[in-house]
Amino acid sequence: MPITKTTSKVDINKRRIINGEDADVIQLYPMRHTFAWDAYNTGNANHWLPTEISMQKDIEHWKSPTTLTEDERKAFKTVLGFFTTADSIAANNVVLAMYRHITSPECRLYLLRQAYEEAVHTHAYQYIVESLGLDEGEIFNMYREVDAIYDKDAFILSFNEGIFDGNFKTGTFEADQKFLENMIVFSLILEGIFFYSSFAVMFGFQRQNKMVGAAEQIQYIMRDESQHLNFGINIINAIKEEQPELWTPEFQTRAINLVKQAVDLEAKFAAEVFPKGIFGMNAEGFRKYIEYIADRRLARVTLPLQYNTPNPFPWMSEAIDLNKEKNFFETRVTEYQVGGTLDW
């Protein structure tokens, strides 16, 4: 990127999420998108590492012939198999799509933090697999072998392809809409919908006092992902404000239809992976929960609700209560400084 010598200072009014190159992407100040700075500081305050969490109880549970049923073992491994690739897809999108095209310096700063957190999540899955002595090839290759995982991953990646192309550039109506569509698929769908039946299963283990170390790691991962989701929604809404011409009725209809497709894929995933249900949750309950979550995502970007389904798993509100998290080094519960600001 060439640098021009000048005494002129950056005009904050020229800062843009995309297409703001004229406002100097190297200078952090003046800061227009303060939500990104807040997210960056939140991430730093909530830093964690998987190795700080003991897996001893999980090892005992996994080795025990009676603690876990075969259905529970299958569900645990399949959910883990989905998580391993989902975070890799998320990391690739952050580095190869979002960072390349976003021109807000403070947003870029947070994206570096987000990319690191995706790496921590991948570390967590490897830590769980290694601790339990699972077959790495089976878990990490599951997205190629299990149709319900493959279908979700293929859906997401089909929208990444154009954005990842080295010749893709924002700056035209079509390209800017393509980028906005990618943000909807990446944030609302991957991070906002596709994780959630799997989160419910892992917290089901936690409620049964089983696989508690793995479940605690997933709880911290969910806290991070909720912040990623919140950031992505802020990006979408900021682009809508800065470039309202992109938010056409046709585009809004397309976004709603994509969310509906995602709900169907996630419901299919739950029905195929947990055909007998698990921990009192059945296919119908998973479907309703996914619909409930989808409506909340749509509302955050001012799109109309499609399902009006009540939450069938109210206990999930306790599992994802981001105001309270267990301190790694103490037994007491401590207040996290920002988690409660997130809108579920």
Q: Residue 213 sits in a domain of what CATH number?
A: 1.10.620.20
Coil, helix or strand at residue 174: helix
What is residue 339's predicted lDDT score, i.e. its pLDDT? Answer: 40
Tokens at residue 277, please? 């249900």
Residue 59 counted as domain residue? no
Tokens at residue 95, please? 């580095």
**Dihedrals phi, psi of 301, to nearest 5 degrees:** -110, 25
**29 annotated active-site:** no
Please pick, among 40, 127, 220, 292, the residue that the annotation labels catalytic: 127
Residue 84 counted as domain residue? yes
Per the omega criterion (within 30 degrees of 0), is the bond before 304 cis? no
Residue 335 counted as domain residue? yes
A 10 A CB-CB count for 241 gives 10
Only one residue has tokens 């290759």, namely 141
CB-side neighbour CA atoms (13 Å) of 313: 29
Coil, helix or strand at residue 278: strand
Enter the DSSP assignment of 166.
T
Residue 10 counted as domain residue? no
Lowest mean pLDDT of 17-21, 179-183, 184-188, name the range: 17-21
- Cβ contacts of residue 5 below 8 Å, gap of 6+? none
**Angle of the 56-63 helix axis to the 105-132 helix axis, nearest 10:** 40
Burial class (CB in 10 A: 0-12, 13-18, 19+), 60: exposed
pLDDT tens column, 57-105: 999 999 999 999 999 999 999 999 999 999 999 999 999 889 999 999 9
Whether 144 shows a pLDDT value over 90: the answer reads yes
Residue 91 counted as domain residue? yes
What is residue 2's predicted lDDT score, i.e. its pLDDT? Answer: 66
What is residue 319's predicted lDDT score, i.e. its pLDDT? Answer: 63
Query: What is the C-alpha separation between 216 and 266, in angstroms, rounded?
Result: 23
Residue 181 counted as domain residue? yes
How big is the chain, counted in residues? Answer: 344
Residue 25 counted as domain residue? no
Model-level pTM?
0.90
Query: What is the C-alpha separation between 139 and 146, in angstroms, rounded?
Result: 10
pLDDT tens column, 225-282: 999 999 999 999 999 999 999 999 999 999 999 999 999 999 999 988 888 888 888 8
Residue 169 counted as domain residue? yes
Give the structural domain span for 191.
68-341
Burial class (CB in 10 A: 0-12, 13-18, 19+), 34: exposed
Q: How many domains does the chain have?
A: 1
**Dihedrals phi, psi of 274, to nearest 5 degrees:** -125, 60
